[in-house]
Amino acid sequence: MLDDTEWAIRRVVPASGRSRSYLNGELVTANQLADLTDGLLEDPRPAFPAGAVGPTPPA
């Protein structure tokens, strides 16, 4: 299923709220998708240590 270098990931969220995820057109579970995509994206925001307080949002 993951032979190609490009993946098409799609998530469908109907009004009923029960979402479905697809990878290259095939239905996958949320756990499968999480496992397969772990580490693909980097979060550009700085990490804060546990218990640290981040920047104060504007009022």
Per the model's pLDDT, the better-predicted residue between 55 and 16 turns out to be 16
Our count of domains for the chain comes to 1
Domain assignment present for residue 17? The answer is yes
Query: Percentage of the chain with pLDDT > 90?
Result: 25
pLDDT at residue number 25: 93
Per the model's pLDDT, the better-predicted residue between 56 and 17 turns out to be 17
Domain assignment present for residue 25? The answer is yes
> Which residues span the domain enclosing 23?
1-39
pLDDT at residue number 20: 92
Domain assignment present for residue 47? The answer is no
Closest CA to 25 of 12, 38, 44: 12
Domain assignment present for residue 18? The answer is yes
Domain assignment present for residue 53? The answer is no
Q: What is the pLDDT averaged over residues 17-44?
A: 86
Domain assignment present for residue 28? The answer is yes
